[in-house]
Amino acid sequence: MYKTILMYADQFSGFERRLEVAAALARDYDAHLIGTTASGGAQLDYIVFGAATLAPPPPLDYEPLREAAREQLLRFDSSCSRLGVLSYETRFQDSSAADALILQSLYCDLLIAGQSDLSDPGLVWSTRLPGYLALHCPRPLLVIPDDGATATSPGRNIVIGWNASAAASRAVAGAMPLLLRAQRVHIAVFNPRQRFGQHGDEPGADLATYLARHGVRVEVHSSVTAEEYGMALCRHARDSGADLIVAGAYGHSRFQEWILGGTTRHLLSQAKLPVLLSH
């Protein structure tokens, strides 16, 4: 069960949509909701002073950043009260958003963030904060799109992107509270022969059996496609009327902090419905 849910209360577009989803999940699971913001000041200090090789830079005033973050927490607080969240709190951290969220996610069950508009100035070389969190967060990350028709409480019709990988398995485990209450769960397997030894004789069957033991009723869809995996998964989710995609998150070896895998990048930037990711 999700008993502690962490949400980044950012100032970018889609904040109200993300908070409505977070509030609905908190009510559904009787969970404690944490809204957190970060100034980014400490990380910017490191970047600015590290680049100053010839002369010291002028003093930097980060108080406007801190004040904007605190104002956003006030907005979060008043909205939670209006949305009927029974247990919630706000947290401010004078650090980068990535550091704040990864640290605090150690003590929560689910992290909720936005999609493409959410970037962290402390991560100048990052692929944007959602991608960084997807690869580094120790808990499942629920990414809410900035546009598109998002259900207030997603997870009634779920598509699992299954490729028999450890990341996909962790995503399924992280989504279990949602899977248990879903009305329909569809396991989508594309080009199973690429991982024939891991899929077994009947691709998706082992995962279906595993979920059935938990009381989850599933359907398995296996197909061969020339489409990029992320595109195929989004198309399948759209065609099946899904309101949530569950998938593993991937990066490229030692450079994963900078370069997301193609599937993960596509899901983060192009999906029009919520995506739950684990690495």
Q: What is the pLDDT of residue 126?
A: 41
73 burial class (0-12, 13-18, 19+ CB within 10 angstroms)?
middle
- The yes or no reply on domain 157-278 and CATH 3.10.290.10 is no
User: Residue 114 carries which DSSP code?
Assistant: -
Q: Give the Cα separation of 187 and 242 in Å (integer).
A: 11
| Phi and psi angles of residue 132, each rounded to the nearest 5 degrees, phi first | -65, -45
Q: What is the pLDDT of residue 209?
A: 97
Helices 15-28 and 63-82, axial angle in degrees (round to 10):
50
Q: Give the Cα separation of 167 and 176 in Å (integer).
A: 14
* N- to C-terminal Cα separation, the chain: 20
CA angle 98, 100, 105 (to 5 degrees): 95
- Do 143 and 41 touch, CB atoms closer than 8 A? no
> For the chain, which residues make up each domain, given as ranges?
4-143, 157-278
3-state SS, residue 80: helix
Q: Give the Cα separation of 109 and 253 in Å (integer).
A: 26
In CATH, which of 3.40.50.620, 2.60.40.1120, 2.60.120.380, 3.50.50.60 is domain 4-143?
3.40.50.620
Find all residues with CB under 8 Å of 205, minimum gap 6, and list them.
Answer: 220
Q: Give the Cα separation of 108 and 131 in Å (integer).
A: 19
Strands 141-143 and 275-278: antiparallel
CA angle 84, 88, 93 (to 5 degrees): 140
Q: Give the Cα separation of 188 and 165 in Å (integer).
A: 13
Q: Give the Cα separation of 91 and 69 in Å (integer).
A: 10
Residue 198 CB neighbour total at 10 angstroms:
13
Phi-psi region of 63 (alpha: psi -120 to 50; beta: other; left: phi over 0): alpha
Nearest to 22, CA basis, from 103, 89, 121: 89
The tens place of each residue's pLDDT in the chain, 279 residues long, gives 999 999 999 877 788 999 999 999 999 999 999 999 998 765 554 444 445 555 565 556 678 888 989 999 999 999 999 999 999 999 999 988 999 999 999 999 999 998 854 454 554 444 478 888 999 999 999 999 877 667 788 999 999 999 999 999 999 999 999 999 999 999 999 998 776 567 778 899 999 999 999 999 999 999 999 899 999 999 999 999 999 999 999 876 554 445 577 888 889 888 999 999 999
Tell me if 4-143 shares its fold with 157-278.
yes
